[in-house]
Structure 1
């Protein structure tokens, strides 16, 4: 007996079908490419192409002490994806300035190997995530592989280096306070990239980085020692709803507010710890308020990471609000004002970030 299905082949639009198959092929290539991009980063293949290219596969293998046959196949996959350029007349591969800026310059705000490291590592939790889909239970940030934490630092760190001070300057009167010597709390600091950046930019201010993940705090302390700011930055293992301290001139949260299990309770706690004229700066992934306006390449990435890491982390905590990485300005405003803040505005933005200013 034939089984009736909802998909009727006679109703299929061949052009739309071919477009979806083409999209699937692109995604399949991208899925495999992620691990190859990580290899290119970790083995110095991109860096060598930037420093010494254009190179043949044999020359690149010699430069990086790797096996030519693997390098040859890797180069061809990279060229097919548009990540490196190929000259058939010389059989050499190289990087354009734009490719080098994305793949070989770790100070670039669009440096991508860290992002590949993050998403490839986050995908390793798929068996637990599959079960979470069935049960509705959460998966804590601390349950991920270490490369998720390092990839997050390498992905977001350069953009904080490039934009952070501009974001602070967009806040009403905050830069002046910090220049004169203020108190800063960076909540959800991870490995401390923005915490340390603020300590460097405002040497007369004191900064505390706060994260519930003990291992990340240990790395952050090492980073502070290495960069020479350990005398004016401290780190505390605590949750966003129970960290210590009061009278902060600035509390910051970078791409983590949507991960909170109880964002309303967190907002209320931030309000309690701020000085009377203090400011809360919330940096969130760029998102419009309507779902249909977020159906973009960046929206797809943000929704996907949110499914794998952000929403499960929120559901693992008390309340389990599940705000999600594409909450948008209005939902973020609603949560912040419900937590007791009376002032909320968009202070700055980039193609991938929204920067909000909240005051009591």
Structure 2
């Protein structure tokens, strides 16, 4: 009996695959070092310090030089620090500092590594649920996920929500300036809620989330910032109380819900006359071919381990996914009875969509 011949290998393609794999393995391991640098204060110590020898960095931080040599070398190999061989010094450039050292920067992304860390912690349990065809609830994840989610999304919301996104929604800024009622559904730690409340002190922002620990943290953060016009309540997306909301927001949350149609139907019923639903969703095109890029790669991975399991854990389990795209989201909105739907704004990471009755 003849056997199929093994096809000849394309050595160029093999080298590409292996090169990508080695790059990704290095990135995965170095993600832990990014967090270690945060915990040890290394990024802050490097910020604005100019070129530093390992000895000088040790003096600043009290960390043993031998550890710092390896850590700094790993960051230089990753392109996260600059290395000068002539002076044997490491420098954190202003651009690098914005991503790694300055939590108030609009492009601070280092905190997102907490989210990635949580994925590795939960990997075995999520894998077993996938094997069984079952879901994995948001509340079941390691608590580091909730910290990472807050830190990953906060910079983008700070940079865009009040100044760039809300003004694109028809009449919303005027309503909130006069004093309106806002529902932030799936609010998590309430970063988006407090930003709106701070910008519009005559309005009241009601944050809702089914996860009681997140609601507790949202209350703490609002109190720490002395934000008095927020209320945080444990409730799901289909049973939160209240009517006559001028703005109902879903910040990177609708696709995690098992019943996004039901969530938007409930929002439609809770709107005031002329009220607006604002959907902020991960940026995505409508086809996989157009989503084969670094940003979608990150979102598809997160969707596999976080978003889709969350949806599939619920009684109604649509499994929308983090890369649903505008066309699919429009279908969901239409099924919920929202007759007006448009893209209001976008960033490399988010689509901002406006829907009305």
Normalising by the smaller structure, the TM-score range is over 0.9
Aligned pairs for 1:1-360 within 5 A:
8=6, 10-165=7-162, 166-229=164-227, 231-360=228-357
Q: Secondary structure of 2:48's match? A: helix
Kindly report structure 1 stretches of 4+ aligned residues shifted beyond 6 Å: none
CA distance in structure 1 between the aligned counterparts of 2:12 and 2:288, rounded to whole angstroms: 26
CA distance in structure 2 between the aligned counterparts of 1:123 and 1:358, rounded to whole angstroms: 36
1:174–1:249: 8 Å Cα contact kept in structure 2?
yes
Q: CA deviation at 1:123?
A: 2.2
Q: CA deviation at 1:62?
A: 2.2
CA distance in structure 1 between the aligned counterparts of 2:119 and 2:107, rounded to whole angstroms: 20
Q: CA deviation at 1:284?
A: 0.3
Q: CA deviation at 1:217?
A: 0.6
CA distance in structure 1 between the aligned counterparts of 2:208 and 2:9, rounded to whole angstroms: 54
Q: CA deviation at 1:52?
A: 2.2
**Cα deviation digits, residues 65-96 of structure 1 (max 9, x gap):** 21211111010000001000001111110111
1:108–1:159: 8 Å Cα contact kept in structure 2?
no
CA distance in structure 2 between the aligned counterparts of 1:159 and 1:185, rounded to whole angstroms: 20
* More displaced 10-residue stretch of structure 1: 321-330 or 67-76: 67-76
Q: Secondary structure of 1:139's match? A: coil
User: Residue 359 and residue 56 in structure 1: after superposition, are their counterparts in 2 closer, same or farther (change >3 A)?
Assistant: same
* More displaced 10-residue stretch of structure 1: 255-264 or 101-110: 101-110
User: Residue 7 and residue 42 in structure 1: after superposition, are their counterparts in 2 closer, same or farther (change >3 A)?
Assistant: farther
What's the TM-score once normalised by structure 1's chain length?
A: 0.96
Q: Secondary structure of 1:52's match? A: coil
Q: How many corresponding residue pairs?
A: 355
CA distance in structure 2 between the aligned counterparts of 1:181 and 1:52, rounded to whole angstroms: 46
RMSD: 1.3
CA distance in structure 1 between the aligned counterparts of 2:318 and 2:73, rounded to whole angstroms: 45
2:48–2:94: 8 Å Cα contact kept in structure 1?
no
Q: CA deviation at 1:61?
A: 2.1
Q: CA deviation at 1:7?
A: 9.1
User: Residue 7 and residue 322 in structure 1: after superposition, are their counterparts in 2 closer, same or farther (change >3 A)?
Assistant: farther
CA distance in structure 2 between the aligned counterparts of 1:44 and 1:242, rounded to whole angstroms: 43
**Cα deviation digits, residues 1-60 of structure 1 (max 9, x gap):** x9x7x893x421000100000000001001101100111112111111113232111221
* Structure 2 gap segments, 5+ residues each: none
1:123–1:308: 8 Å Cα contact kept in structure 2?
no
